[in-house]
Amino acid sequence: MTLQDILPGKLGFGAAPLGNMFRDIPEEEALATVEAAWNDGIRYFDNAPFYGAGLAEIRMGEALAGKPREDYVISTKVGRVILDEVEESPRDNGEKGDVFAHGRPNKVANDYSEDATYRSIEDSLKRLRTDHIDIAFVHDVAQDFYGDDWLSVFESARRGAFRALDRMRDEGVIRAWGLGVNRVEPIELLLELDEPRPDAFLLAGRYTLLDHDRALQRVMPGVAERGLGIVVGGPYSSGALVGGPNFEYAPATHSILAKVAAIKAIADRHGISMKAAGLQFSLANPAVAAVIPGASRPSRIAEDSAALAEQVPADFWRALRAAGLVNPDAPLPGMD
C-alpha cells in the first residue's frame, strides 16, 4: 500500500499551531479551526507529541471526538515522550528556539528507543482519543535539532524506533511509517538502508517555492524510484512566503524577503495569490502525495482550499523560471 493509497486528498491539516506555536491560542479558536477543516472536507490530520508537549494532540482528539474514525487519517510522530513532570526552565528546542513556549509545561524526553516508541504511540492514542494511528513518523532525527550528534541519534532510531514501527506496521497496528524531518540528509540515509523499509516521509520546509534545490536533487528521485511518497510540511516556509516575518521558525533574512518580494511581484502581475503559488508548486512534483499547511484560525482553512483550486496560468510559472526563482528542473503545474 502506497502513501497515495492511504491519504484521502492532496490537502491536509498540519497541527503544529494547535500546540500554541508562537502564541497562546484560545481553546475555542483551536477547536473551531479543526472543525472548519472538517467542514471544508479535509480528512488528513498530522500531529506530534512535541507540539506544545501534547497540547496539539489533546486539542485534536477533542475536536475529532465523535467523527467517524473510518472517515479520516491521522499521522503522528515518535521520538519525544511527554512526561508528567513539569519543566522548571525553558525548553531547549535546538536552533529553533522555544517556539512552543506557550504549550503545556510538561517535560519532553528525547527517546528513540524501541520501548519509548511503543510508549509514545500508546500515549498518542490516548491524547488523540483514537484506537489506531495510520502513519507514524520518526521525528526530527536531523542536524537542526541535534547538531553534530544527529548521526548517533539516527543510529539510535535505526536500532529502536525504526524496528518497532516496522513491526507495528507488519502487525497492523499502524498502516505506514517513515521520517518526519526538516532536513534532507536523514531521508537520504534511510533510503540507502536495505532494512528496515519505510513507506513515506514528511519533509517540512524543504520542498517549497523558497527552498527546494536539495530536496529536488537528493530526495525526490530516490523516493519516486522506490514508489514511496512525500508529505510536504510548511509549504509557506514558516509564513515567509505569504508575508509573515519568519522563515525556518526564525526572523527571515534580507535575502529571503527579497526572494519573496520578487515572487510576489510576478504573482501580482498575473493576479494570483502567493498561497496558490506555494501549494501548487509543491504538489506539482509527482513524489508529493499531500501538503499540510498549518492553521490556527478557521479563516485560514478556506484560504488554503481556495488556493488549491485557484487557476494559475502557465505564464506565471514560465516567468518564475525565466527569473531564476525556481530550479530549472523542478516540475511545474501544467508544464512539461
Q: Write down the catalytic residue from 44, 51, 118, 249.
A: 51
| Cell reading at 271 | 493576479
Residue 77: active-site member: yes
| Residue 113: count of CB within 10 angstroms of its CB | 17
CA distance 79 to 96: 17
Report the number of secondary-structure helices (H) and strands (E) in the chain: 14, 12
Q: Write down the catalytic residue from 10, 24, 44, 46.
A: 46
Give the three-class secondary structure for 232: strand
| Residue 62: count of CB within 10 angstroms of its CB | 16
Give the three-class secondary structure for 167: helix
DSSP state of 253: P
CA distance 123 to 114: 14
CA distance 69 to 175: 14
Residue 236: active-site member: no
Q: Write down the catalytic residue from 44, 72, 77, 275.
A: 77
Residue 304: active-site member: no
Burial 186-214 (b: 16+ CB within 10 A, else e): bbebbbeeeebebbbbbbbbbbbbbbbeb
The residues annotated as belonging to the active site are 46, 51, 77
